[in-house]
Amino acid sequence: MLWRGRRQSDNIEDDRSGGGGLGGGGGQFRIPIGGRTGGGGSIFLVILVVLAGWYFGFDPSTILGGGGGGLAPGGGGQITEDSGSATPANDEMKQFVATVLAETEDTWTGIFKSQGLTYEDPKLVLFSGQIRSACGSASSAAGPFYCPGDHKVYLDTTFFQQLDQQFGASGDFAQAYVIAHEVGHHVQNLTGIMSKFNQMRQGMDQAEANQMSVRIELQADCFAGVWAHFTGQKGILEQGDFEEALNAAQKIGDDTLQKKTQGYVVPESFNHGTSQQRQTWLARGYKSGKLSDCNTLSGPI
Ligand SMILES: [Zn+2]
């Protein structure tokens, strides 16, 4: 992606030096990482669990405790080294993320405007190790997530190394896809899709909720594709960029991840979609650039 020299978003909150994620903040819902919880009914918990760790097999026990978890082969526990000085204030990774975020702002502002709507930029919080959001606390192990409660995307950029080294999804546009997917959840939040999902989620059993979650996640993939479509029109995609995103979508499909981590698949537990589905919806958004092609909420997926 030809991102250098382009506008960088001001909506980055750099919390990588640590501390900020753990202090203050009354009234926030804390996810008891490492502890046991029952099937708590908190909507915030549900949302966090649905949206956090979007690339993993979404086994809630990995977030809600229960030990071992097995998020990924090789442990993937919390990233604890946090010297506070190892991260330059304005390193290249931050510039890249800020540029991609700016591109999503421009694209979605335009799309919303064309529908007579106003897009509100999300914030993107860079963190290291652990972070507190309006959706509760989360560790890096949960992966990037979007919190509807505070309109923020949370990203520990060490995830990108994991994406590359553990999951075999390399390239800057694989990373851009991750960001665009999370921004896709923000779009769902602004357009009311997410609150509709939460209403429908009430009264569903786990298997039904998982199926609904897949539809929500595939739509975020499709929205990422829509963003990539318009980004491509700007002439800043390089040869092979979109293939990097497609490859990432393949590598983080529920079936592929489950095969990799546990050796077998449990379709009822899928909550982000199969590799095939994720690629299909990402490609669908990319091809047309039309939101109307991203209706994953009804019909076959
Ligand atoms: Zn997601």
Q: What is the pLDDT of residues 227-258, one digit of tens each?
A: 999 999 999 999 999 999 999 999 999 999 99
| Å from CA of 259 to ligand 1 middle | 20
| Å from CA of 181 to ligand 1 middle | 6
Grade residue 142 by pLDDT with cuts at 50, 70 and 90. Answer: confident
| Å from CA of 166 to ligand 1 middle | 19
**What 8-state DSSP symbol labels residue 204?**
-
For residue 162, what are the β-bridge partners?
Answer: none
User: Is the confidence at residue 74, as pLDDT, over 50?
Assistant: no
| Å from CA of 118 to ligand 1 middle | 23
Report the alpha-carbon distance of residue 172 to residue 1 in Å, rounded: 7
Lowest-pLDDT range of 2-16, 67-81, 169-183, 268-282: 67-81
Whether this model's pTM surpasses 0.95: no
Count CB neighbours of 147 within 10 A: 27
Report how far Cα 88 is from the mean position of its chain's Cα atoms.
Answer: 24
| Å from CA of 204 to ligand 1 middle | 19
What H or E segment, with its residue span, contains residue 213? helix 206-233
Report the alpha-carbon distance of residue 17 to residue 155 in Å, rounded: 13
CA-wise closest residue to 275 among 258, 287, 290: 258
| Å from CA of 85 to ligand 1 middle | 31
Grade residue 66 by pLDDT with cuts at 50, 70 and 90. Answer: very low
For residues 67 and 33, the answer to whether their CB atoms sit within 8 Å is no
Count Cβ atoms within 10 A of the Cβ of residue 74 and give its class: 0-12 exposed, 13-18 middle, 19 or more buried.
exposed
Euclidean distance between the first and the last CA atom of the chain, given in angstroms as a whole number: 30
The pLDDT, as a whole number, for residue 108 is 98
For residues 250 and 279, the answer to whether their CB atoms sit within 8 Å is yes
For residues 33 and 65, the answer to whether their CB atoms sit within 8 Å is yes
**What 8-state DSSP symbol labels residue 83?**
-
CA-wise closest residue to 155 among 47, 16, 248: 16
The pLDDT, as a whole number, for residue 17 is 84
CA-wise closest residue to 148 among 45, 252, 278, 297: 45
For residues 158 and 79, the answer to whether their CB atoms sit within 8 Å is yes
| Å from CA of 249 to ligand 1 middle | 11
For residues 10-21, give the mean pLDDT: 80
For residues 180 and 100, the answer to whether their CB atoms sit within 8 Å is yes
User: Is the confidence at residue 63, as pLDDT, over 50?
Assistant: no
Report the alpha-carbon distance of residue 282 to residue 301 in Å, rounded: 12
| Å from CA of 179 to ligand 1 middle | 10
User: Is the confidence at residue 10, as pLDDT, over 70?
Assistant: yes
Pairing of strands 123-127, 152-155: parallel
**What 8-state DSSP symbol labels residue 30?**
P
| Å from CA of 14 to ligand 1 middle | 22
